Amino acid sequence: MDLFNAQDEAQARPQPLAARMRPRTLDELVGQERIIGPGKLLRRAIEADRLNSVILYGPPGCGKTSMAEVIASVTQRRFSRTSGVLANVAVLRNLIDEADRARRQDGRETILFIDEIHRFNKAQQDILLPHVESGVVTLVGATTHNPLFFINSPLTSRSLVFELSALSEEAITSLLRRALSAEEGLLAMRVEAEDNVLRQLARLAEGDARRALNALEIAALSTARDEQGRVVLDRAVVEDSIQKKVVVYDHDEDGHYDTISAFIKSVRGSDPHAAVYWLGKMLYAGEDPRFVARRLVILASEDIGNADPRGLSLATAAMAAVDFVGMPEARIILAQATTYLATAPKSNASYVAINKAMQDVESGRSLSVPRHLRNKRMRTVDAEPGADAAYQYPHDFAEHHVAQDYVPTATRYYTPDGQGYEEVIASRMQRWEAERKAAEAARAKDGKGDVA
């Protein structure tokens, strides 16, 4: 009896506010007007009931599941749902068989909604292909991951891919207002909150409508009524209800790669403010600080190089210090290295130089070492006519430099662009280049040809 009572109680318990407030029509979908607004492709296809399979891609709480349910409601198709976390091959085959029977017996089409479709492996995704192509099911897949990387290309080629955006503060605020005034929402509880309180909750939710509605419900249920029987929410209550932000940062997946990409590009783009923000997001989400430090070491050579040679020294020192100190203090060291490198002069001349040289070697341009540059022992054997030219020791000459051939090619690989310290290097190299050309001209005039 206790078991049956528990089941009855669970069934009688109301759904969470976020579930009760799901939109029922296209007009109730907020925040995605860019793809579902009047006249847009997706809306026209839904209203005309000519929808092919679609993949909805976007962050948590932006309305992917709600949009799938509205599509089924508007088109009056069967709605069958599962998840990439829970379903296996047997579950998929069963759902497809049910859809096929409904189609043959009742002539009713089925929308198969698969949440977190990126969790399916290749074999599971391949099972869907023939049934999507034949029209047994209309697939609506939802994912927080880029479908171009996490979903098989044959499946994406048979689907329309729509990217949903995180909801704006205004959109979430409007949802919160509706939740307070709707019968299916909190109207019966007589919950009140000033507009600035709702806006603060929307701001803290950072684009996630589900998180905002869950926090609103927790605040309402945990706040005592006043003398008039109202539940009045203030900023402190809603801020406490939403708690710590769980950032969208899946390690080894999109969140990880997108954020480190934004971080590196911000440092390269000389924006210390943006770079520190992305650094903070990574550390907040639990990223390994040593991974960040290693990327800074690479950047110090790739994007700064000789424009500020101290950048590499500072980056390598930061990497050692981060490993020695650990978190949370390592955040300070990483912030120092990040802001220094972001504000340093930039040059990728060394990066371009080594890539160009390696491309020449890879393409078959393998040059022999000139005899005067070889090891001394090698220069004393197998002497050839004209091979008696000696290596000239640069320290024996003014400014410790002498014009002589070091590689048998006129290709110039390293071209400093004049940023930071590379301005000094460029000036020095221009002077050496002038000396080299003068020496070549003198040799040509004397008719002696090339010298070693």
Q: How confident is the model at residue 410 (pLDDT cuts 50, 70, 90)?
A: confident
pLDDT at residue 10 greater than cutoff 60: no
pLDDT at 398: 83
Q: Which CATH architecture has domain 254-343?
A: Up-down Bundle (1.20)
d(CA 331, CA 280): 8
pLDDT at residue 423 greater than cutoff 60: yes
d(CA 207, CA 373): 64
pLDDT at residue 257 greater than cutoff 80: yes
pLDDT at 405: 75
Q: How confident is the model at residue 299 (pLDDT cuts 50, 70, 90)?
A: very high
Neighbour tally for 393: CB within 10 Å? 9
Across the chain, mean pLDDT equals: 85
> What CATH number matches the domain at 169-242, 3.40.50.2300, 3.40.50.150, 3.30.1360.120, 1.10.8.60?
1.10.8.60
d(CA 83, CA 113): 8
- Mean pLDDT lowest among 164-178, 251-265, 383-397, 409-423: 383-397
> In this predicted model, what pLDDT tens digit does every residue of 94-112 receive, in sequence order?
999 999 999 999 888 999 9
pLDDT at 448: 52
pLDDT at residue 315 greater than cutoff 90: yes
Q: How confident is the model at residue 55 (pLDDT cuts 50, 70, 90)?
A: very high
- Top-tier CATH class for 32-163: alpha beta
| Selection from 83, 68, 94 nearest residue 118 by Cα | 83
Does the predicted model carry a pTM greater than 0.75? Answer: no
pLDDT at 347: 93
% of the chain beyond a pLDDT of 70: 90
Q: Where in the chain is the domain with CATH 1.20.272.10?
A: 254-343
pLDDT at residue 128 greater than cutoff 80: yes
How confident is the model over 22-37, as a mean pLDDT?
A: 89
Report the SS3 class of residue 54: strand
Report the SS3 class of residue 81: strand
pLDDT at 145: 84
Give yes or no for a contact between 16 and 214, defined as CB atoms under 8 angstroms apart. Answer: yes
pLDDT at 266: 95
Q: Which fold has domain 350-446?
A: post-AAA+ oligomerization domain-like (1.10.3710)
How confident is the model over 396-416, as a mean pLDDT?
A: 80
Q: How confident is the model at residue 311 (pLDDT cuts 50, 70, 90)?
A: very high
According to the per-residue pLDDT averaged within each range, which of 241-250, 296-305, 421-430 is highest?
A: 296-305
Give yes or no for a contact between 311 and 304, defined as CB atoms under 8 angstroms apart. Answer: yes
Q: Which residues contact 268 (CB under 8 A, 6 or more apart)?
A: 299, 303, 346
How confident is the model over 147-158, as a mean pLDDT?
A: 87
Higher pLDDT, 410 or 191: 191
Q: How confident is the model at residue 15 (pLDDT cuts 50, 70, 90)?
A: confident
Q: Where in the chain is the domain with CATH 1.10.3710.10?
A: 350-446
d(CA 259, CA 56): 21
pLDDT at 385: 46
> In this predicted model, what pLDDT tens digit does every residue of 169-219 receive, in sequence order?
999 999 999 999 999 999 999 999 999 999 999 988 888 899 999 999 999
Cα 305 to the chain's mean position, in Å? Answer: 26
Give yes or no for a contact between 439 and 403, defined as CB atoms under 8 angstroms apart. Answer: yes
Higher pLDDT, 12 or 153: 153
pLDDT at residue 155 greater than cutoff 50: yes
> In this predicted model, what pLDDT tens digit does every residue of 205-244 receive, in sequence order?
888 899 999 999 999 999 999 888 899 999 888 888 887 5
Q: Where does 53-196 show beta strands of DSSP type E? A: 54-57, 78-83, 110-115, 138-143, 160-163, 191-193
